[in-house]
A and B are shown apart, each in its own frame.
Chain A
């Protein structure tokens, strides 16, 4: 990245799968030099997701804009090399199982002894400490244990979670963690102090339901979009073809809607949408300030996105469709400039650039299998 709000910042990316890797990718999008560290004996599991051959599209979509360093942290000598890199680095991102970093001798104490200004972002399911710190959790586990699942679901059905295909807690933590890491950079500018960020996905998921907790909401009184306290009507209505239409009627439009239904000899919205011309009804409703959208699947959403010029999905430099940007800066716009790296793709360049190692020193490390160089 040649220019960006975080240009000049360096990140050692130990993040894997979604939470850690997506957080680092956001920092890369902002212009940081993000170095993804893997080895042939421990690669990001996302490379092989869902039995794919070659790097999975999920890995490629998440890890664009990064450089690749092949470094086996379990090999004797690797720890010292990593700490040499830490001395020249601003941020380390990790979402290992709790205890892994300590087991490698790379806990915050070790990192900050080498670089007092280092910001270590530890992203975990349940938090860095506590009796459940080692509780194995995925997104749905956390929706269940955070209160979010209990607050959702049909009136006559079980609690509900976004599930395996969306994994809301895994996705949203990257948006949060990137902001917290960047805030830590702001503080370090003023104080010179680094930080150890203990980011719990479970706690974040609870926090994102904070207004419902403040309302004293329980499973009995759980969330209903129809009763959000803001809209007069908010619901999905079935169309004759089996699809659904999402409708939100603000309080100030309710009387206009009532008049419209009367004028068209229609009893209510379900009857309106059961009629022949839903498209015409949508135009009329929108003219009254009522929000109406068909409920679509992801592929149709992608078509909407491309038509509206959304940057949320983009093509990488090789044309491969990847995750895009959740926001942008006018003066220092973000962009996707690199495809996801292969393991060790940039090892030589990184070691020359960051540690000023010469060719002999690099090859010596490779002979010891401390580093991996992709030929």
Chain B
């Protein structure tokens, strides 16, 4: 079977002085292409990754090669780089350039990180307690979101080149826009005359509460209320204080306290089984180390073995790609010098 981007050659090249967030976005964009069969070459001029966590380098760079004199540089289909470097590139016929940056335009000279961009775009305000420091989504979601956006542009340009052989183009993606796009509901609310949401801690619409052996996200819609009462089995929930959506909103804290007392009688496996039976969207919180053994993930082959240069083997999620295409396995980090 052929992977969809098999035969495509891409050079990944972010400048030494490019922001780290941009280098990570570029690395993730290239990783997606690699996962779909493209050959990825890291430019010798690539900003060094020496200060990065080993696991991040391994996750992003597995299977990529370092470009050298024998690399097929002359037949590169696309270059993934930072916007400043892209500005200086000439576009030969049929080549595609992905240009990544932190922000759209006028704020580009200000230093930015994924964390500060999350603050600027309202994303950081969305999680945590209102009277405490806000919480960042774990990992590199801002850079990865820009990498995803850039990849879609790359794929579209590759398709266009198949229709129009001499087509060249530059695709611009930036982390600020990717975050604004993801946070669109919050960003657009005021313009619609709707109250702008902000973090509410435990009083959020769907809190994460303790259960017998860990935690569970109490996710439910109004239509789920009868089934949720059945699951929780606490007569206090029949009180008119919880009868309507408005009443439940007004008494949210007390509702969640009662729910948490009821959830103390369920472990996560039981909760999952009962939720499946009752068609409730409750989410048992599953820890990363337990996911490779999760039945749904195991049957679907959602994880693959992953080696670091010191020989440590981890299970990491594979690219959730097509059912018709083979999974591209994560090569050892030693493939990249």
B-binding residues in A (CB < 8 A):
5-6, 8, 26, 30, 57-58, 61, 126-138, 140-154, 157-166, 168, 171-172, 175-176, 178-180, 182-187, 189-191, 193, 195-200, 202-204, 206-219, 222-223, 225, 228-231, 234-238, 244-248, 250-251, 286, 289-302, 304-305, 307-313, 321-332
Partner of A244, one of B134, B314, B322: B134
Contacts of B132 in A (CB 8 A): 154
Smallest CB gap from B299: residue in A = A130
Question: How far is it, in angstroms, between the C-alpha of A373 and the C-alpha of B208 when the chains are bound?
Answer: 45
- Given the complex, which residues of A lie within 8 Å of B105, measured CB to CB? 308-309
- Whether B296 and A132, one on each chain, are in contact in the complex, defined by CB atoms closer than 8 angstroms, is yes
Contacts A5-B156, A200-B300, A321-B191 given; indicate if A207 touches B141 (C-beta within 8 A): no
A213 x B317 contact (CB < 8 A): yes
A-B contact count (CB 8 A): 474
Known interface pairs A197-B322, A207-B320; A313-B118 also in contact (CB < 8 Å): no
Q: Contacts of B331 on A, CB cut-off 8 Å?
A: none
Q: How far apart are A165's CB and chain B's nearest CB, in angstroms?
A: 4
Contact between chains at A329 and B157 (CB < 8 Å): yes
A164 to chain B, nearest CB (A): 4
Known A179-B32, A295-B124; contact A329-B184, beta-carbon cutoff 8 A: no
Contacts of A209 in B (CB 8 A): 138-139, 288, 317
Cβ 8 A contact of B300, one of A153, A157, A203, A292: A203
Whether the pair A302, B194 counts as a contact (CB closer than 8 A) is no
CA distance A146 to B287 in the complex (A): 8
Name the CB-closest residue of A to B319. Answer: A207
Q: Are B116 and A246 in contact (CB under 8 A)?
A: yes
A8 touches B113 (CB 8 A): no
- Given A208-B141, A297-B196, A332-B160 in contact, is the A166-B2 Cβ separation under 8 Å? no
B26 located at the interface, meaning its Cβ lies under 8 Å from any Cβ of chain A in the complex: no
Q: In this complex, what residue of B is CB-closest to A57?
A: B192
What CA separation (Å) do A300 and B3 show in the bound complex? 43
Bound together, the chains give a CA A350 to CA B119 distance in angstroms of 44
* Chain B nearest Cβ from A101, distance in angstroms: 14
Q: Determine whether the beta carbon of B117 is less than 8 Å from that of A293.
A: yes
Interface size class of B (residues with CB under 8 A): 35 or more
CB proximity of B116 to chain A, nearest CB, Å: 4
Contact B53 A127 (CB under 8 A): no
CB distance from A362 to the nearest CB of B (A): 32
Q: B321–A180 contact, CB under 8 A?
A: yes
User: A206-B317, A309-B104 are known contacts. Are A331 and B169 too (CB-CB below 8 A)?
Assistant: yes
Complex contacts, B144 vs chain A, CB 8 Å: 208
For A191, the chain B residues whose CB sits under 8 A away are 2
**Which 4 pairs across A and B sit closest by C-beta, in order of nearness?**
A298-B186, A144-B283, A248-B113, A223-B138
User: Which of A215, A222, A231, A251 has the most CB atoms of chain B within a 10 A radius of its CB?
Assistant: A215
On chain B, the residues within 8 Å of A216 by CB distance are: 55, 289, 312, 314
Asked whether B284 is an interface residue with its Cβ less than 8 Å from the other chain, the reply is yes
B197 proximal to A (CB < 8 A):
yes
5 A-B interface contacts by CB (under 8 A)? A200-B300, A200-B320, A248-B115, A286-B110, A298-B125
B252 lies within 8 A of chain A by Cβ: no
* A301 contact from B152, B159, B170, B180, Cβ within 8 A: B180
Is B63 among interface residues, defined by CB-CB distance under 8 A? no
